[in-house]
Structure 1
Amino acid sequence: MPFRVYILAIAAFVVGTVELIVGGILELIAADLNVSVSAAGHFITVFSIAFAVSAPILMNVTAKMDRKKLYVISLFVFMIANLIVAMSSSYNVILAARALSAMSGSIIIVLSIMMASQLVPPSHKARAIGTIFMGISGSLVLGVPLGMVLGNAYGWRAPFFFIALLSAIAMICIQLLMEKTAPNPIIPLRKQLASLKDSKIVSGQLISFLLLTGHLTLYAYFAPYVQSNFNISASTMSIIYFLFGIAAVSGGGIGGWISDRLGTRKALLFIVPSFALSMFVLPLAAQVSFYIFMAVVMVWSALSWAISPAQQTYLMQSAPETADIQLSLNTSIMHLGIACGSFIGGIAIKEASVAINPWIGGAIAMLGLASALFSLSRRSRADKQPLATTKLAAEV
């Protein structure tokens, strides 16, 4: 794999860290800004919404720019946005800066995927894209726990200073080591959204949305949830996040293996209900012992990423003529799920208790199963087309 692909993966790692790092230091942020934990959780919500909405729009607006130049500019804006977060004392200013970092981060992620695929021959395209996603998932393993360690040792602002530093290093590396890359042909937003007229595709995309909504209902407030059940130190919480991340990354590989062995249809029907079940079991396991709870947490974490290979393969198989568009839209839809999950979880904490978050998340994940069953029962337009052609020929 070319060295430059790994540089792009590191940049993706930094963006992935920024999005979810807030979940591990929510209580530190809330105490410093004198806001509630649910209000601090809005820093995740606003990031995810801004990412989801801006990704397709900004990629179209900047479609004629040289990709390397756009990447460097995006990294610079990303760095500035995180410096604002680190230095501001205003809740509203931090919200705005989080939105700005998400907008620039969305360009960085999409460009990383596109540029990595262009750096390798067609036979290694999937492997290059997989390397970028390893960077994103790797932020769960190292980024979030590292952010917690820095936050607990030097204050919650320290991780954002560190992220700004990494952004500056990545910007220099991209400028020095990457070659100019011509832009790809522009795909109008109308064409990107046209495929969503197919009920099979819409319900297929909703699987990601509902599962991530259910997942983030608890994961965005996972630290407060664990603290409410067990009396553990901040360092132990960092270890829990580290183990969670290892399970998440391994889950991606397990999900790919299941999808290859069983096929995407059976994989979806196995992984989605298993994920919902794991969320329902979590509060029960917490009543038994910490070690049983952690075993269920590892299963829950692995299943949260296991769905991705089957889901993305299913979308490509259902709409092969718009496969790239489906994957791009799926990225936005996933972030909308993250935003909705963190928002719903915050409401649950404010109105009741964090103890009910896994139950709500599991119920939303079950809606994902209903969406999967509906999508699998529909015929794709590609399947319908031959029938329509045959009928027309018969009439003629």
Structure 2
Amino acid sequence: MEKQEPLPFTGYQKFVIFILAITQFTVILDFMVMSPLGDMLMKSLSLKPSAFGFAVSAYAFSAGISGLLTAGFADKFDRKKLLLFFYIGFIAGTIFCGVAQSYQALVAARIITGLFGGVIGSISMAIITDLFALQQRGRVMGFIQMGFGGSQVLGVPIGLYLANAWGWEAPFWMVAALSIIIAALIFVKLQPVTKHLSVQRDKSVFQHLWHTVAKSNYRVGFTATALLSIGGFMMMPFGTAFAVNNLGLTNEQLPMLFMVSGVSSLVIMPLIGKLSDKIDKFKIFAFASVWMMIMCVLYTNLSVTPLWLVMIFNVLMMIGVMSRMIPSSALTSAIPDLQDRGAFMSINSSLQQIAGGVAAAAAGVIVTQKSKGAPLEHYNIVGYVIVAISILSIFLMWRVNNLAKKKVNIEEAPVDEPIPLAE
């Protein structure tokens, strides 16, 4: 795995990458578009900030629960049918958001959207693992996760433009309309993904869920994912407040900051994806983790800083974050056996959501503010906590890397009987 020629994609594989990337884009855009609508929604529905915050977190909470609930039967069906089922549910939830005219209806709509949308990423990961060799997955992850950068670049300005022209409901109708077209493409063009059905052993969905959680190798992957999510999410909740109150940026400068970060991630992700298919994925992850640690400590200790320099710091941090995300996702995808992939990805996705919530809560305990508009205090402590978590993440990802290499060696060995990796 030191230096290798990347495997080329077939025409059909390119279509799969496109359809999964655009599917992921709509799911992330649906989540991201809530943020710029905050002020408009609070005024329209007479909401307090805490109530709006609950409406946003309702999605993540329901998405985390959904992943655990669906893990047991995630490997019992054709993955194409499973993807279509949850994507249609996601579309229904998004339409419900568009017609909601009360706070209670909006929260219910966000819960429904989260229950269905929160599972789509894990189903996509299972499809990627089924259809692409490990030597291709770095590039695939790079393209799929461009949805995050694309939603940052497009979600804020388009969402605000449509909301200002036709009301806060308009962005949800836009996401729903685009999603209906994508669902039709999935139905017509995506081939059934059923190879995993031939190796199913567990008769009960509860048995399947328990057997997946019980495997020690899988738990290494779950723990690595949770730690990565905690480290990645700790700075996010107070990023805007720190930029305004500590770095001296204005609210008018924030959209430009988000857009520059989003564009940089769109450029970085495919490059890191290609690189991680050419050289050792763990080495890229370890180097990127050290880079991110340095940037976090420097950034969280800044005082008043000009916009151009804050942009440079954000881009440099984004390079570290994305360069960890892509190789770690590719390596973790190699751990589960064929018959367990759906369940593994569902549990992994749930832990990601839940860990993100834990990270936000932990950051809220650490960071303080003496008065409204005063500089945040102890934000640099968050940076140091991320360093400690990142060091643990490197160790865990080293173990994941060893498991992935062992799995590849087993799969490539000319044996008559399959040798299960996880025990």
TM range (shorter): 0.7 to 0.9
Matched to 2:32, the amino acid is: L
Aligned partner of 2:189 among 162, 177, 184: 177
Matched, 1:333 2:356: no
How many residues are paired up? 374
| C-alpha spacing 1:367/1:115, structure 2 compared with 1 (3 Å) | same
Match for residue 290 of structure 2? 270
Alignment of 1:132-281 (within 5 A): 132-182=144-194, 184-185=196-197, 188-195=208-215, 204-219=224-239, 222=240, 229-233=248-252, 237-252=254-269, 260=280, 263=283, 266-267=286-287, 269-281=289-301
Deviation at 1:94, TM superposition (A): 1.6
Aligned amino acid, residue 21 of structure 2? A
Contact 2:98 2:169 in 1 (8 A): yes
- 1:302 equivalenced with 2:319 (yes/no): yes
Could you list the per-position Cα deviations for residues 227-262 of structure 1 after superposition, in whole angstroms to 9, with x for gaps in the alignment? 6644454xx654432212112334445766598598
Residue in 1 that maps onto 2:305 = 288
Cα shift readout 1:160-184 (whole Å, capped 9, x = no counterpart): 1111111111122222222333273
For residues 117 and 203 of structure 1, the distance between their equivalents in structure 2, rounded to whole angstroms, comes to 20
1:102 aligns to what SS in structure 2? helix
Corresponding letter in the other structure for 2:31 = E
Q: How far 1:371 sits from its partner (Å)? A: 3.1
Please report the TM-score for the alignment, with normalisation by the length of structure 2. Answer: 0.72
Whether the 8 Å CA contact 2:80–2:192 is kept in 1: the answer is: yes
1:189/1:349 CA distance change after superposition, 3 Å: farther
Q: Deviation of residue 226 (structure 1)?
A: 5.5
Q: Percent identity?
A: 18
Q: Which moved more, 1:293-302 or 1:160-169?
A: 293-302
1:369: which partner in 2? 387
Q: Give 1:15 deviation, angstroms.
A: 0.5
What whole-Å deviation, never above 9, does each CA across 1:256-310 have from its counterpart, x for those lacking one? Answer: 659859815742551341352254045x2xx232332333233333333232135
Local SS of the residue matching 2:234? helix
- Distance in 1 (alpha carbons) for counterparts of 2:164 and 2:17: 33
> In structure 2, what is the Cα distance between the partners aligned to 1:120 and 1:81?
31
Q: Does the CA contact (< 8 Å) of 1:4 and 1:178 recur in 2?
A: yes
Where does residue 39 of structure 1 map in the other structure? 51
Distance in 2, matches of 1:290 and 1:197, equals 45
- C-alpha displacement of 1:66: 3.1
Structure 1 pair 167–217 and aligned structure 2 pair: CA distance change class (3 A): same
Indicate the residue corresponding to 1:392 in structure 2.
none
- The one-letter code matched in structure 1 to 2:355 is G
Question: Which stretch of the first structure deviates more once superposed, 368-377 or 250-259?
Answer: 250-259
1:304 partner amino acid: V
- The answer to whether the 8 A contact 1:276-1:363 is kept is no
Q: Does 2:81 correspond to 1:69? A: yes
Asked if 1 retains the 8 angstrom alpha-carbon contact of 2:94 and 2:173, the reply is: yes
**Mapping for residues 310-325 of structure 1, pairs under 5 Å:** 310-312=327-329, 315=332
Q: Which runs of 5+ in 2 are unaligned?
A: 1-10, 203-207, 404-423
Question: What one-letter code is carried by the residue in structure 2 that aligns with 1:263?
Answer: K
Structure with higher helix content: 1
TM-score, normalised to structure 1's length?
Answer: 0.76
The equivalent of 2:29 in structure 1 is 17
What secondary structure is seen at the aligned counterpart in 2 of 1:6? helix
- Is the Cα–Cα contact under 8 Å of residues 278 and 299 in structure 1 kept in the other structure? no
CA distance in 1, matches of 2:132, 2:218: 33
Conservation of the 8 A alpha-carbon contact between 2:142 and 2:271: no
Q: Aligned with 1:271: secondary structure?
A: helix
Q: Distance in 2 between matches of 1:369 and 1:232?
A: 29
CA RMSD of aligned residues (A): 4.0
Partner of 1:391: none
Structure 1 pair 118–199 and aligned structure 2 pair: CA distance change class (3 A)? closer
How far apart, in 1, do the equivalents of 2:364 and 2:75 lie?
Answer: 37
Matches of 1:113 and 1:104 in 2, distance apart?
15
Q: Letter of the aligned partner of 1:296 in structure 2?
A: F
Conserved? CA contact 2:152–2:262, under 8 Å? yes
Moved more, 193-202 or 364-373: 193-202
Aligned 1:352-363 pairs, distance under 5 A: 353=372, 359-360=378-379, 362-363=380-381
Q: How big is the shift at 1:115?
A: 3.2
Q: Give me the whole-angstrom Cα distance separating, in 1, the residues matched to 2:264 and 2:354.
A: 23
> CA contact under 8 A between 1:51 and 1:332: conserved in structure 2?
yes
Gaps of 5+ in 1: 384-396
Which of 5, 8, 14 pairs up with 2:20? Answer: 8
* 1:372 Cα offset (Å): 3.7
Write the distance in 1 (CA, Å) between the matches of 2:82 and 2:352. Answer: 24
Match of 2:6 in 1: none
Distance in 1 of aligned mates of 2:55 and 2:86: 20
Checking the alignment, whether the CA contact within 8 Å between 1:275 and 1:304 is kept in structure 2 is no
Alignment partners' CA distance in 2, 1:358 and 1:25: 28
